[in-house]
């Protein structure tokens, strides 16, 4: 059973908002009751109708507020939706994306089947038309996304939103809007797939299921794929990766995806995604509270698969490899025990002091496997540490890198994608915490700087190429009663690859 993909038709158009013959035209209102430029056009054509409504106190323009108006005089659209934009001087990226989401949710809830949204015309400081349209598409998809197909009675919208037109101010901007539309659709669909995989419970989304989804994607977009089973991984010497899944009855899978869009022999970018489809902590068992969220521990792998969908949609002229070590971390008589020592694919030995620090144990072998591709760059992404959540919360992903130009490249892509990162130190001083008297290293370095020492551990396996690590523990999903995957950092990765493809 699969989640139904959002069926929404987008297009770009320039023209006077008052002349749009559609079910609804969406215009913005700033605090305090200041009309945006498209709203002024509507107001002028309707002989001050909007101004009269605002003077009556029906709307102040507060961020997130909406007001639906019917039969506005001299306007061809059936309805006008006013959307509050907040204070004009504070109208930046988040406010813009939030306004798009508020508009789309209201359109959905009020039964509008089509709409022309003029919010994409409103300037966002330091951003262009392409950015506005791309983010509008992504925000619209996010607002409409639902994962309810596992309910006995999925929620049904009586008249689902089918068509959305994003307006641009001038005809000369149409071509830039079309680029934003193409990028936005590819990214939104990639994010949607990553969300679906993350939200699928672990009794369905097993390592084998994840491998099947990767193969299905490969077939759809012409990628090459390879699935390594236990025997193949054992033959390669992946003792660290295989040790994590020993306590589970779900066999591990090492997933390889290859997009060969670049020149033959061109060094690829390698994306490595942690995919622990359920993390009970192993013998170092997690506390019961919030353990139900541990199916999201495969979010790094899900984001790599989602990124590959976007790559396929865009047909990027680039060589990209995806590596996804997938397993479960469960407790039983065969499971890793604190004090066990395992040998990684690199030959380095690891003393396992905490079996719940398992992500680094599967990633280290994937990073060694990446060497065979002589990569141009390697980026791994993982819901790796709770310490990262304490340090940075849910807004930026933590960025570590052994190569400053690569780190700056990722920071630039993250800013443009509005999928932000914060660079953290990767100093040799922290390596001391990983010392072991019995093995080459321990898998934990104690409570202080937990996210940093995890990255330091991984850096020991990434010395042969330019490497970056994204700790997405705080950004890949939200917990609590409204738990769900965010699909991050698909947007960041796609923009990183787009920038590489344009060099």
Q: Which of 125, 225, 121, 109 is nearest to 166 (CA)?
A: 121
* Residue 255 to residue 227: CA distance in whole angstroms: 5
Beta-carbon contacts of 479 under 8 Å, excluding residues fewer than 6 positions away, are 290, 293
Query: Active-site residue among 246, 360, 460, 500?
Result: 360
Long-range contact list for 55-64, CB < 8 A, 24+ apart? 59/29, 59/33, 59/84, 60/31, 60/32, 60/33, 60/84, 61/29, 61/30, 61/31, 61/32, 61/33, 61/34, 61/85, 61/86, 62/31, 62/86, 63/95, 63/98, 63/99, 64/98, 64/99, 64/102
Bridge partners (DSSP) listed for residue 276: 327
Catalytic residue from among 286, 423, 464, 483: 286
Whether residue 286 lies in the annotated active site: yes
Alpha-helix runs per DSSP H in 167-206? 174-199
Q: Omega of the bond prior to 489 within 30 degrees of 0, cis?
A: yes
How does DSSP classify residue 285?
P
With beta carbons less than 8 A apart as the criterion, state whether 424 and 400 touch: yes
Q: Which residues contact 210 (CB under 8 A, 6 or more apart)?
A: 197, 253, 255, 275, 277, 298, 301, 302, 305, 324, 326
Q: Are strands 269-273 and 275-279 parallel, antiparallel or unpaired?
A: unpaired
Q: How far apart are CA 22 and CA 107, in angstroms?
A: 13
Distance CA 303, CA 438 (A): 36
**Is there a catalytic annotation at residue 258?**
no
Distance CA 25, CA 281 (A): 51
Catalytic positions are 286, 360
């Amino acid at each position: 059973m699969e989640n139904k993909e959002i069926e929404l038709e987008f297009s770009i158009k320039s023209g006077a908002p008052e002349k749009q013959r559609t079910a609804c035209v969406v215009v913005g209102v700033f605090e305090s009751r200041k009309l945006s430029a498209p709203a002024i056009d509507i107001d002028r054509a309707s002989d001050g109708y909007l101004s009269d409504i605002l003077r009556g106190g029906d709307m102040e323009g507060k961020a997130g507020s909406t007001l639906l108006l019917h039969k506005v005089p001299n306007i061809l659209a059936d309805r006008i939706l006013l959307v509050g934009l907040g204070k004009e001087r504070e109208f930046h990226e988040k406010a813009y994306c939030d306004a798009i989401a508020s508009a789309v949710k209201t359109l959905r809830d009020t039964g509008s089947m089509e709409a022309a949204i003029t919010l994409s015309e409103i300037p966002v400081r330091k951003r262009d038309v392409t950015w506005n349209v791309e983010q509008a598409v992504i925000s619209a998809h996010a607002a409409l996304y639902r994962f309810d197909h596992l309910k006995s009675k999925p929620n049904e919208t009586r008249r689902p939103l089918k068509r959305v037109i994003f307006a641009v101010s001038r005809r000369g901007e149409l071509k830039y809007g079309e680029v934003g539309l193409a990028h936005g659709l590819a990214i939104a669909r990639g994010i949607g797939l990553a969300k679906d995989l993350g939200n699928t419970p672990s009794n369905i989304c097993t390592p084998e299921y994840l491998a099947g989804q990767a193969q299905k994607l490969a077939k759809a977009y012409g990628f090459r794929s390879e699935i390594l089973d236990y025997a193949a991984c054992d033959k390669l010497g992946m003792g660290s990766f295989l040790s994590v899944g020993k306590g589970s009855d779900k066999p591990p899978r090492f997933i390889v995806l290859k997009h060969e869009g670049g020149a033959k022999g061109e060094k690829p970018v390698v994306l490595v995604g942690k995919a622990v489809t359920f993390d009970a902590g192993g013998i170092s068992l997690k506390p019961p509270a919030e353990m139900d969220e541990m199916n999201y521990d495969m979010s790094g792998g899900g984001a790599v698969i989602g990124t590959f969908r976007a790559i396929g949609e865009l047909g990027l002229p680039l060589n990209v490899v995806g590596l996804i070590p997938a397993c479960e971390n469960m407790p039983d008589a065969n499971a890793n025990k604190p004090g066990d020592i395992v040998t990684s694919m690199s030959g380095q030995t690891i003393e396992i002091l905490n079996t719940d620090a398992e992500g680094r144990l599967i990633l280290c072998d994937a990073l060694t496997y990446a060497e065979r591709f002589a990569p141009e760059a390697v980026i791994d992404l993982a819901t790796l540490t709770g310490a990262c959540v304490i340090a940075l919360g849910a807004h930026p992903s933590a960025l570590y890198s052994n190569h400053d130009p690569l780190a700056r490249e990722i920071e630039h892509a993250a800013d443009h994608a509005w999928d932000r990162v914060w660079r953290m130190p990767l100093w040799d001083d922290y390596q001391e915490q990983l010392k072991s008297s019995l093995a080459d290293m321990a898998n934990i370095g104690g409570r202080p700087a937990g996210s940093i020492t995890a990255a330091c551990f991984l850096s020991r396996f990434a010395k042969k190429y330019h490497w970056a690590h994204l700790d997405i523990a705080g950004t890949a999903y939200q917990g609590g009663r409204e738990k769900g995957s965010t699909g991050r950092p698909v947007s960041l990765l796609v923009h990183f690859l787009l920038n590489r493809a344009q060099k």
